[in-house]
């Protein structure tokens, strides 16, 4: 797992109710987090959604736990598979996370063949923002606001991770990646200053950070329950199969 946040940043996201001020340009939000975090109540307990159980039928005691609030498919989620599936797997990744790049290269294709292409699950891909590079790369992938371009850009961003994520010219390199797919520098600049897009990314990040077992990316939630095993084809498959049963 890649540890992404500083202690103050993670504490702010997971325990504060204070909203991020979105009146400033998108590029300034990350700088504001540390100062905002200092004002939080560090002793505030995490609020966990209560899970209720419902009887499967009058004749049996089998129970079904509802999907936790926030872990259903929302109107700006990027997903593949069956939108009506009872199984929703949400992956949190960071564009600068090497483990995420490894997962998408070696493990995700197998999960896709077994469960997504067969419409057994809905698979949601959400960004976890840990630094300005993550924010800018995520904004690039979502700039055209459609599923096809999102997944294409995300794939290239992760494949080319080593070439841009550690460079002081990462914004220039991301701009070049954008142009290859038809996003002009002007369009990218416009997206970078789209505060509504930033708000969506931050809200998703805060939701994951509230999980008491969340330590970094990649992270997986199946119907809202965090998967704690190894990110391997065998481990993730076993967890999905358990839910399918």
CA pair distance 239, 124, nearest whole angstrom: 16
Question: Has residue 208 got a pLDDT over 80?
Answer: yes
pLDDT (tens digit per residue) in 52-69: 333 333 333 434 456 677
| pTM assigned to the model | 0.74
Assign 4 a pLDDT band (cuts: 50, 70, 90): very low
Question: Looking at the domain 7-244, which fold is it?
Answer: Glutaredoxin (3.40.30)
Question: Has residue 75 got a pLDDT over 50?
Answer: yes
pLDDT (tens digit per residue) in 122-162: 999 999 999 999 999 999 999 999 999 999 999 999 999 99
- Two structure tokens written together for 81: 């598979």
Assign 11 a pLDDT band (cuts: 50, 70, 90): very low
Fill in the DSSP letter of residue 122: E
Q: Could you tell me the CA-to-CA distances from 131 to 43, 113, 205 in Å, in that order? A: 25, 32, 12
Q: Which residue has the tokens 């995520």?
A: 138
- Two structure tokens written together for 163: 């070439």
């Amino acid at each position: 797992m890649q540890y992404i946040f500083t202690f103050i940043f993670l504490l702010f996201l997971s325990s504060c109710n204070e909203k991020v001020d979105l009146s400033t340009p998108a590029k300034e939000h990350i700088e504001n987090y540390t100062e905002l975090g200092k004002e939080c109540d560090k002793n505030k307990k995490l609020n966990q959604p209560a899970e209720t159980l419902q009887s499967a039928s009058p004749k049996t005691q089998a129970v079904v736990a509802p999907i936790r609030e926030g872990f259903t498919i929302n109107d700006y989620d990027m997903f593949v598979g069956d939108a009506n599936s009872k199984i929703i797997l949400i992956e949190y990744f960071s564009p600068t996370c090497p483990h995420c790049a490894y997962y998408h290269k070696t493990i995700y294709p197998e999960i896709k063949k077994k469960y997504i292409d067969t419409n057994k699950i809905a698979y949601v891909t959400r960004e976890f923002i840990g630094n300005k590079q993550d924010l800018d790369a995520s904004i690039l992938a979502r700039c055209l606001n459609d599923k096809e371009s999102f997944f294409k850009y995300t794939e290239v961003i992760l494949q080319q991770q080593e070439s841009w994520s550690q460079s002081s010219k990462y914004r220039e390199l991301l701009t070049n990646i954008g142009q290859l797919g038809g996003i002009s520098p002007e369009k990218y600049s416009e997206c970078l200053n789209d505060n509504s897009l930033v708000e969506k990314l931050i809200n998703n990040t805060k939701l994951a950070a509230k999980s008491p077992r969340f330590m970094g990316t990649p992270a997986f939630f199946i119907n809202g329950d965090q998967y704690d095993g190894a990110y391997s084809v065998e481990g993730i498959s076993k967890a999905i199969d358990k839910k399918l049963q």
